[in-house]
Amino acid sequence: MVNERLLKSLINPELRKEGKRHDGRRRDQYRDFEVLIGVVERAQGSALVRLGKTHVLAVVHGPYEAPRHVALPDRAILNVVYRTVTYAVMKRKKPTISKRERELSRIIREALEGVVFLDRYPRSQIDVYVYVISSHGGSRTTGCTAAALALADAGIPMKDLVIGLAGGKVEGHVVVDLDDIEDKIGDADLPLMYLPNLKKLSMIQADGIFTRDELIAAVRAVVDRIEKGLYPTIRETIMRKYGSDSDVYDR
Has residue 23 got a pLDDT over 80? yes
pLDDT tens figures, 187-233: 999 999 999 999 999 999 999 999 999 999 999 999 999 999 999 99
**β 124-134/77-84 pair status:** parallel
Q: Give the C-alpha separation, 138 to 176, whole Å.
A: 11
Contacts of residue 107, Cβ cutoff 8 Å, sequence gap at least 6? 140, 144, 203, 205
Confidence band for 245, pLDDT divided at 50, 70 and 90: low
What pLDDT shows up at residue 92? Answer: 58
Helix (H, G, I), strand (E, B) or coil at 46: strand
Count helices and strands in the chain by DSSP H and E runs: 7, 10
What pLDDT shows up at residue 243? Answer: 78
- Look over the chain and give the mean of its residue pLDDT values, rounded to a whole number: 90
DSSP per residue over 165-199, as a string? EEEEEETTEEEES--HHHHHH-SEEEEEEEETTTT
Helix (H, G, I), strand (E, B) or coil at 124: strand
Radius of gyration over every alpha carbon of the chain, rounded to an integer in angstroms: 18
- Quick check: bond before 122 cis, omega within 30? no
**β 163-170/188-195 pair status:** antiparallel
Go through the domains of the chain in sequence order and give each one's CATH number. Answer: 4-247 (3.30.230.70)
Confidence band for 97, pLDDT divided at 50, 70 and 90: confident
Which one has a higher pLDDT value, 56 or 88? Answer: 56
What pLDDT shows up at residue 150? Answer: 98
Has residue 171 got a pLDDT over 70? yes
Beta bridge partners of 60: 45, 128
Helix axes 99-113, 139-153, angle to 10 degrees: 50
What pLDDT shows up at residue 152? Answer: 95
Q: Whole-model pTM?
A: 0.90
